[in-house]
Amino acid sequence: MNESLPIYQSYIDGAFAAGDNLIEVFNPANGQLLGSVPETSLSDVERAIAAARAAQKGWARKPANERAGYLHRIASKVRDNAERLARIITAEQGKVLGLALVEVNFTADYLDYMAEWGRRLEGEILTSDRPGENIFVFRKPLGVIAGILPWNFPFFLIARKLAPALITGNTIVIKPSEETPINCFEFARLLAETDLPKGVVNIVSGRGATVGSALSSHSGVDMVNFTGSVATGSRIMAAAAGNITKLNLELGGKAPAIVLADADLGLAVSAITASRVINTGQVCNCAERVYVQRKVADQFIDQVSAAMAATRYGDPLAEDNLDMGPLINQAGLDKVAQMVKTAVNDGAQVITGGSVADRSGQGFHYQPTVLAGCQQAMEIMRHEIFGPVLPIQIIDDLDEGIALANDCEFGLTSSIYTKDLSSAMRACNELDFGETYINRENFEAMQGFHAGVRKSGIGGADGKHGVYEFTHTHVVYLQI
C-alpha cells in the first residue's frame, strides 16, 4: 500500500496498539484507497474488555458531574476539529460535506447534552409496608458496554453509545464498521489528547464475524449496544444468549409516509424527497414507502419525480453543490439495482431514474428513482431499500393507509402529512411504530427516544429513557 497513507491502530487501555492484519478502507465515490485499520486480534479484544473492566469501578466512583466534564472536553475537541472530521467522514462514507458537518456538530452537541444528565440521574424512594423501613431504588451502571456501530452515521453513533455509557458510570469497547473505521480512530486520537482515564474508552476494529462476534459472546461484556441490520442483530442475540448478556438493538426500518388529500403537498414533496436523498437514502428512519391518497396521487407523483430528477449527485469531495453522494459499496449498489429490477418485473413503473448511474465506472452511484404503481405485496414495499429509491402506492383513505403502514416486519419510524387534526390523532393512536413524524421530515431529536417495535429492535437511544438503558436498578430495603 501507499507508504504515505495512514495506518491506524487499536486504542486499548489508553494506548495505541498496532495490528498484524490490516483492512484497507476505500472512498466509495471514486475507489481511492484512504488508509488501513487493524483487524484487531482476539487477544487484543480480550485486553480491551479487561481494560474496560479494570477501569469501570474507579470511573463509576467519580461524581457524575466530574464524568460530565470529560464529555464536555471531548465535545469541544470534536468542535475544534469539525471541518477535518467532516472531510474524513465524507471520504470514507460518501455523504455530502454539508451533512458530514451536521453529523460532527450534532455529535458534539450530543456529548454536551448527555453530559448534562450528570446532574439529573435519579433513583427513587418508595413507601414500605413495614414500620420504620425505607426502600431505595438505586440506578447503577451495567459495567462494560460493547458498542458495535454501522457505517451510515458512523461518527454520531460513537457518541450515541459512548456518551450515555460514560455519564452513567460504565466503560466501553467500541467497534466501528469495517466500512467506516477511520473517523472512529481519528476520534480515538482526540480522546488520547484529553485526560480521560485509561481503559474508560477502548476502540477495536475488524469484521463482524470475528471481532464483533468476540465482543457479543464475551462474558466480560454487560451489554451489547448494537446498531445495524436485522440479520446481524439476530446473530448478536444468539452470540449473547450463552451469557444472557443484556442487549440494546437498533435495527432496520421501512418507514411509511402517508400523504392524505388535505396535506400541504409542497411540504410533503420536499420532506419525502429529502428523506430519500439525505445520505443517499441510507438512513434507518427515512421514508422508504409512500401511501398517497388517490385524489392527489398524480399531482404528488409529478412533483416528487421532478424533485428527485433534479437531485445533483456525484463525488462529494470533487464536486460542489451536490445533494447526495454514492452508496456505501458494490453490495449496496447491487442490492438497490436488483430491488428496482424486481419491482419493475412485478409491475411497478419507473417515473424517473431506475438505473445505476453512468459515471464511467467511478463509485457506487444510483440514479434518484421514483417507482409508481407499487403494491403492498412487492418486495420493494416490504424490504429495506437503503438507497435513493421511492416506491409509491395509491390508497383510498386513511384506514387503508394505516393498515398498510402497520403491515410490516419493521416498526421504527412512520410519517403522515395532513392538515386535519382528527387524522393526525388517529395516526398517533393507530400507527404501531416507535416514532411518528407529522407534517415534518424524519429526523429524531436527541431528547426524544429513538426506538423501534417488531424487528426494528429492542430498547432504544436518546433522552431520559436512552440514558437509563445503560443502568440497572438496585433496590435496597433498609431497617435500622
Tell me which residues touch ligand NAD (CB under 6 A). Answer: 148-152, 175, 177-178, 207-209, 212-213, 216, 227-229, 232, 235-236, 250-253, 284, 384, 412, 450, 452, 457
Work out how close the CB of 278 gets to ligand NAD at its nearest, in angstroms, rounded to a whole number: 13
Query: Phi, psi (5° rounding) for residue 128?
Result: -105, 155
Integer Cα distance of 86 and 274 in angstroms = 20
Looking at the annotation, which residues are catalytic?
250, 284
Where do runs of H (alpha helix) occur along 14-173?
42-61, 64-80, 82-93, 97-115, 154-167
Contact criterion met (CB below 8 Å) for 147 and 165: yes
CB 289 within 8 A of CB 254: yes
Residue with smallest beta-carbon separation from ligand NAD: 208
Beta carbon nearer to ligand NAD, 141 or 459: 459
Question: Is residue 175 within 8 Å of 205, Cβ to Cβ?
Answer: yes
Secondary structure of 230-293 in HEC code, one letter for each residue:
HHHHHHHHHHHHCCCCEEEEECCCCEEEEECCCCCHHHHHHHHHHHHHHHHHCCCCCEEEEEEE
Least Å distance, CB 264 to ligand NAD, is 28
Q: How far apart are CA 127 and CA 118, in angstroms?
A: 26
Q: Quick one: 69 or 106, whose CB is closer to ligand NAD?
A: 106
Residue 74's Cβ-side half-sphere holds a number of Cα atoms within 13 Å equal to 30
Query: 120, exposed or middle or buried, with CB in 10 Å at 0-12, 13-18, 19+?
Result: exposed
Nearest residue (CB) to ligand NAD, 175 versus 365 = 175
| Beta-ladder partners of 411 | 453
In the complex with ligand NAD, the residue whose CB is nearer, 204 or 350, is 204
Region class of 12: left (phi > 0), else alpha (psi between -120 and 50), else beta: beta
Strand partners, 250: 227, 457
Q: How far is the CB of 235 from ligand NAD (least distance, A)?
A: 4
Between 253 and 256, CB nearer to ligand NAD: 253
Q: Smallest gap, in angstroms, from Cβ of residue 266 to ligand NAD? A: 28
In sequence order, what are the beta bridge partners of 416?
Answer: 258, 438
How many helices (H) and strands (E) are present in the chain, helices listed first? 15, 24
In sequence order, what are the residues at sequence separation of 6 or more whose Cβ sits closer than 8 angstroms to the Cβ of residue 46?
Answer: none
In the bound state with ligand NAD, the residue whose beta carbon lies nearer, of 126 and 231, is 231
Q: How many CA atoms lie within 13 A of 11 on its CB side?
A: 27
Give least dist CB 6 to ligand NAD, A: 20
Query: What is the smallest separation between the CB atom of 125 and ligand NAD, expressed in angstroms?
Result: 34
Distance of closest approach, residue 197 Cβ to ligand NAD, in angstroms: 26
Residue closer to ligand NAD, measured from CB, 373 or 388: 388
Pairing of strands 223-227, 144-148: parallel
Least separation in angstroms between CB 374 and ligand NAD: 20
Our CB check for ligand NAD shows the closer of 148 and 405 to be 148
Q: Residue 39, SS3?
A: coil
